[in-house]
Amino acid sequence: MKIYIIGASFAGVSCGVHARELYPDAEITIIEKNPIVGFLPGGLLLYLQNKFENLNDAVFTTKKQLEEQRINVKLSETLFDCDPEKHEITTSKNTYHYDKLILANGSEQKSLNIGLEDDDEWDPSFKNYDLSNKILAQIKNASTIAIIGAGQAGMEAASTFVDLNKTVHLIEAMDYPLFKYFDPDFLKPFLAALKKTPNVHFHFNTTVTEVTKNEQYEILLGEQKIASDHVLTTVNVHPQLAKFTKKFKLHSDNTIQINDYLETSAQDVFAVGDLIHSPVRIREEGAYLPQINHAVRSGVVAAENLLQTQMKFKGGLRTIGTKVFDWYLASTGLIEEEAFVYSGEVATKSFTQNASLVDKTPIYCKAVFEKASKKLLGMQLLSQTNCLEKINTAALAIENEVTLAELMQNDYFFQPEFTNVMEPLNRINMGSETRHAF
């Protein structure tokens, strides 16, 4: 069996590695347009934080490691066309015939219509290795950087640059950052701290209308104008819409339509990772979930289904965890602001707990749950101590439709240096609830 995979990032690599385990005799080839495999999307920031010696060390696997598993890797080669009838693909270098094809060519961040976008010399995003490498020197030399988009990537970039003593302008159309994952009321302590952070200027409720370049970049925000040495966009990603992807049935948001088993509209062609619209475990309609864990799991499930459809893809919960401006933030499942997407009535509980009996740093917690059944639907955590791992337990509880009463009895370890008398998830069932207005 000849398996061809397009894209050597999280979805493609995890599919290839699992396919190797499942089909020892298959010939597996991954085709990647970049010169390296497995580049981390935040690799540029990690390199600037001195977490890696070289930019090309910011990877989660290497060509050599994949080849040791008998996976062929073709780098700097781009898929141009695909003929599903003939089971044929054409790349920048060759034509190949496949038995099974997995599209794992992911997403890009370029979506703003801000003037310079058409200029070949200027691409303000940094998700892949080539772009990160290209803008590295400019970033290092810049003393002022404008960032467009205050989602996870934008906040991580802003935090990194402030640590490097740069002045940052963070521009966001919404009225607060990280809006996909947190309710605005919940972020109050964090937002209050951000206001006092030196060298960072937040422009919320603000849209960039144009970017021009003279000696510096000039960013027009309606009447206001900002000058900066560099501009980065960290807006939402969207699927890489190459010519060949248009040969498959697409949703209106340009994601590739797949069935429960990740098969596309063409026989023997699967789509995974940031290309697809996925089931979300707490809502009836699916959503676009451009996240690494989601990409990896979809790659693994596609490998399971190559010979026969045997494993449904369950989708995800949009679980995130990050550290920005010395705060740890984590979220999973439904937030109160989007309660309207849930078919039942929703209620919430918010409380604060010290990290442990020794570490008195508060952990702010907010739980979202179904009013009638008291099933947990979502959880948000915020602290200046590392509480991120707790979000995974909340995600597991949501996935298993656990109620607050059941969570109250869940067994956690106690050790005064690391825990409080009660774990946040044990506590959710206590205290008064806030009924959601919808």
Ligand X SMILES: Cc1cc2nc3c(=O)[nH]c(=O)nc-3n(C[C@H](O)[C@H](O)[C@H](O)COP(=O)(O)OP(=O)(O)OC[C@H]3O[C@@H](n4cnc5c(N)ncnc54)[C@H](O)[C@@H]3O)c2cc1C
The residue from 3, 5, 6, 376 that contacts ligand X (CB under 6 A) is 6
Cβ 271 to ligand X shortest distance, Å: 10
Cβ contacts of 83 within 8 Å, gap of 6 or more: 89, 90
- 12: contact with ligand X by CB under 6 A: yes
The residue from 242, 311, 357, 408 that contacts ligand X (CB under 6 A) is 242
Cβ 336 to ligand X shortest distance, Å: 22
- 11: contact with ligand X by CB under 6 A: yes
Give the number of C-alpha atoms closer than 13 A to the C-alpha of residue 217, restricted to the C-beta side.
26
- 58: contact with ligand X by CB under 6 A: no
3-state secondary structure of 218: strand
Residue 381 CA to residue 209 CA, distance in Å, equals: 34
Please choose, out of 59-67, 189-197, 287-295, 406-414, the segment that lies near ligand X by the rule CB under 6 A: 287-295
In the stretch 372-411, what mask flags binding to ligand X with x, by CB under 6 A? Answer: ----------------------------------------
Strands 2-6 and 167-171: unpaired
The residue from 84, 124, 149, 290 that contacts ligand X (CB under 6 A) is 290
Strand order across the beta sheet in which 210-213 lies: 210-213, 217-221, 224-228
Residue 157 CA to residue 52 CA, distance in Å, equals: 16
Using CB under 6 A, which residues numbered 258 to 277 contact ligand X? 273-274
- 128: contact with ligand X by CB under 6 A: yes
The residue from 16, 28, 41, 255 that contacts ligand X (CB under 6 A) is 41
Residue 141 CA to residue 35 CA, distance in Å, equals: 25
Cβ 209 to ligand X shortest distance, Å: 23
Residue 127 CA to residue 149 CA, distance in Å, equals: 14
Give the total of residues touching ligand X (CB under 6 A). 33
Cβ contacts of 215 within 8 Å, gap of 6 or more: none
Strands 27-31 and 71-74: parallel
Q: Footprint of ligand X on this chain (CB under 6 A)?
A: 6-12, 31-34, 41-42, 78-79, 104-107, 109, 127-128, 153, 237, 240, 242, 273-274, 290-293, 295
